[in-house]
Chain A
């Protein structure tokens, strides 16, 4: 019985992807043009050997790796700024009034719209140019972290994290704050032991959405001039060389990594914040 239900659930998960692959296969057969739609086997081959060098572009794995580092740099910056700011804005009404109008003006601007300004400000400057590293492997690494890219990713991640931090703190039950005050909590205690944990589920949810957005900003960031690596670069470059199989393999990698990161967050939420579901 148990095996039967196991296969049933597994089947439920696999049936749509399987249908999708079949359609792809049939379509590729019909089209017979690997620039328009390469076969499954061709793309799978690329994904099976991620460390293999692709003509003049480095390997898939290396490009995904460098993209991850970029996203994490911009993302962590956004989290480090947005979480404290959101907590303060959520708790102190005057601070909220002071900043919210201003910040709301920038919220609707798509990260991509920043590109011209960002290029004017930062050009192709990277961490390497600031840290005055001019050669060696650390130069190659740091030069990949362009300010312009990090800024675009930062903008993408900033608002979801900020908004959810504000809401998380603003919705903390007043009675929790009152009881902490009566028990002798100082300002630091209130922030660290009441506001932060009470708002944590909302903040982490915002961090999860923010990471998703940051990851989505990746391709636009890596299309910026001066970019010579990353999955986004790989995809656009492969497109100009009509290597559609590499384009698709790159897209699939983005999807897989993004879903993987999301899963990590989901597991974290489930483990850490079980009380939010129980405490109704």
Chain B
């Protein structure tokens, strides 16, 4: 274990038992060390266990094999220092935006004034402070995702797990959100594990890109992205890297279709 590793994932395996008595192996032998302040993207075919991996790191799901260390200590359950933005819509519909974002500090027992201030600051970070009184159903999909990000940030976690947070956005909004996320990441130095379907998105954001195999999910390759930020999509390195990863993914997708 190196000093700078914030997360060590060791021979992680996960097998679900299904309701009809069978079992599904979602993850097999995943080994991964994540550096402090690293931006790590995870790509892989649908159903390969990306969400499962994040859920296990978040402490929401039990692993069946291996272990995960966070700063040298084994993960046993959910922890406030590990934040998560989910693939699905996850705001509490009966609370307004501000009270949703204040949830983490509220659980931590922060006084009302302090948690309002924290929540407002986080909303400002994602450009949503003018909607603090709105209810989730009054927001668009992209705005909800921004609020969900603000909510995760309000706990000031050092690891942020993001499960296709921009998956439902149109291309233009997605690019804006990517910029915003990089800004937050650079300003607040967090370790981010970011799952995405978009290879383009991964190359734009990540320090390293982890490519997973079809189910059972294994790591089949890791790419370092050595381009200075802000990255230009017209950069030739960009295109070459995208092609390499896409080729790899295409093979995997064919495998998972073939059986």
* Beta-carbon contacts under 8 Å, B39-88 to A: 55, 58-60, 77-80, 82-84, 86, 88
- In the complex, A86→B152 CA distance in Å? 31
On whether the beta carbons of A186 and B86 are closer than 8 Å, the reply is no
Contacts A182-B58, A183-B103; A279 near B136 (Cβ below 8 A): yes
Check B92–A197 contact: CB distance below 8 A.
yes
**Residue numbers in A under 8 Å from B55 (CB-CB):** 178
Q: In the bound complex, do residue A176 and residue B107 qualify as a contact, i.e. CB atoms below 8 Å apart?
A: no
Contact digits for B112-156, partner A, Cβ 8 Å, 1 yes 0 no: 000000000000000000000001111000000000000110010
A134 at the binding interface (Cβ < 8 Å): no
C-alpha spacing A185/B84, complex, angstroms: 14
Q: Which residue of chain A has its CB nearest to the CB of B80? A: A184
Interface string of A177-193 (1 = CB under 8 A from B): 01111111110010001
Contact B82 A175 (CB under 8 A): no
Q: Which of A176, A182, A200, A276 contacts B82 (CB 8 A)?
A: A182
8 cross-chain CB contacts under 8 A: A178-B55, A179-B86, A181-B77, A193-B103, A275-B135, A278-B135, A279-B136, A279-B137
**Contacts A178-B60, A186-B107, A279-B136 hold; do A197 and B94 have CB atoms under 8 A apart?**
yes
- A180, A183, A185, A275: which has the most chain B beta carbons within 10 Å? A183
Q: How far is the CB of B155 from chain A (nearest CB, A)?
A: 6
A181 with B78: CB separation less than 8 A:
yes
A280 vs B152: C-alpha distance when bound (angstroms)? 23
- Closest chain B CB from A170 CB (angstroms): 16
Nearest-CB residue, chain B, relative to A177: B60
Q: A181's closest neighbor in chain B, by CB?
A: B78
Q: How far is the CB of A183 from chain B (nearest CB, A)?
A: 4
- Docked pose: A182 CA to B90 CA in angstroms: 12
Q: Which residue of A lies closest to B55 (CB)?
A: A178
Is A198 on the interface with B (CB-CB < 8 A)? yes
